[in-house]
Amino acid sequence: MNVIRQIVAGETDPEVLIQGIHGRIINKHGKECIKESLTGFIKEHHRFILVLLLEEYDMLCIQTEKSLVQMEELCKTHYDKELNLLLTIPGISNISAMIILAETGAEMKAFENSGKFSGWTGLRPRNDESAGKYKSTATTKGNRFLRAILVQVAWAAARSKGTYFKEKYTRLAMRKSRKKALVAIARKIGVIIWNVLYFEQAYNPAKLIVYDPEKLQAKINYHQKEFDRLEKLVQR
């Protein structure tokens, strides 16, 4: 944007324009490559089009800021408690919390359980089973706006150090694609959102660590089987 504004102002010298480029970009691509990309022929009609586009961009930025201010005022007036509850969940920012409230109305009693809510968001795997075999585990259709923001929240949570979501994402990404792992984290966050808003309680990471005796025993049996298999291979 700095380069565009300089070109609109009449500057075309690559040595001057390169000063508006972030140092990280210069280090990544090299100074000569950046200077070459900034070398060209800018005529008056090019500059005129850039001026119109820049005015449109600035107008949209102003309208976006005004909309965010209006959203914050509405949330503070009508959904202050729900907004603060959502902000306790890792990965959820002020903007994403407001979008979640806008899409759900903060009313979780409309959904019988968290599974129904996951289905409504389109993050739950479809039930495509025949003769005891699953043909597809692709997600169902749902609220595409809420689905998109939950995936973004999941990405932020998966990159937050010291959180359950980062550790869970790392483990899932080892045995499935990163995209599928991210969708799984988004579905998990959707379940947490339902519980936080339904029970009106702040996010508590301790509640995520639930030891199911049956699942624990199943894991022990699986690893024991793997150890036995390795021992047989070594004996051969």
Q: Are residues 119 and 196 in the same domain?
A: yes
Classify strands 133-136 and 128-130 as parallel, antiparallel or unpaired. Answer: antiparallel
Q: Are residues 88 and 171 in the same domain?
A: yes
Tell me if 57 is assigned to some domain: yes
Q: How many domains in the chain?
A: 2
Give the separation between CA 196 and CA 199, rounded to whole angstroms. Answer: 6
Domain that holds residue 181: 79-128+135-221
Q: Are residues 89 and 188 in the same domain?
A: yes
Q: Are residues 202 and 86 in the same domain?
A: yes
- Residue labelled with tokens 């102003």: 62
Q: Are residues 187 and 112 in the same domain?
A: yes
Per-residue pLDDT of the chain (236 residues; tens, 9 = 90+): 999 999 999 998 999 999 989 999 999 999 999 999 999 888 899 999 999 999 999 999 999 999 999 999 999 999 999 999 999 999 999 999 999 999 998 888 888 888 888 888 888 765 555 555 545 455 667 788 899 999 999 999 999 888 889 988 988 888 888 888 999 999 999 999 999 999 999 998 877 655 557 767 877 888 888 888 888 888 87
Q: Are residues 149 and 189 in the same domain?
A: yes
